[in-house]
Amino acid sequence: MRNNQKSQKPHAVYVVEGEGESAFWTKIGAAWRHEDGKGFNISLTCMPLNGRLVVREPKAEEAGR
């Protein structure tokens, strides 16, 4: 893990199956923004077979930790 990854809060990576209110979100990893802001390093705990990947910023209460 790089030094910048230790200091910043990671984005959450989810696999999302379904649409709208009935969508099922499963957290499967984390993503750290590159220092230049043009990409991410992503670490996954599993590889989804279907659904779509979604990367979300940390929630305000998590970012303040």
Write out the residue range of the structural domain in which residue 11 sits. 3-58
- Ranges of beta strands (E only) in 6-65 are 11-17, 24-33, 40-44, 52-56
For the entire predicted model, the pTM comes to 0.78
Residue 10 gets which letter from DSSP? P
- pLDDT tens string 17-62: 999 999 999 999 999 999 999 999 999 999 999 999 999 998 876 5
2: pLDDT strictly greater than 70: no
Total domains present in the chain:
1
Higher pLDDT, 7 or 20: 20
pLDDT at 6: 54
Length of the chain: 65
Q: Which residue has the tokens 């305000």?
A: 60
| Position 48 in a domain | yes
| Position 44 in a domain | yes
| Position 64 in a domain | no
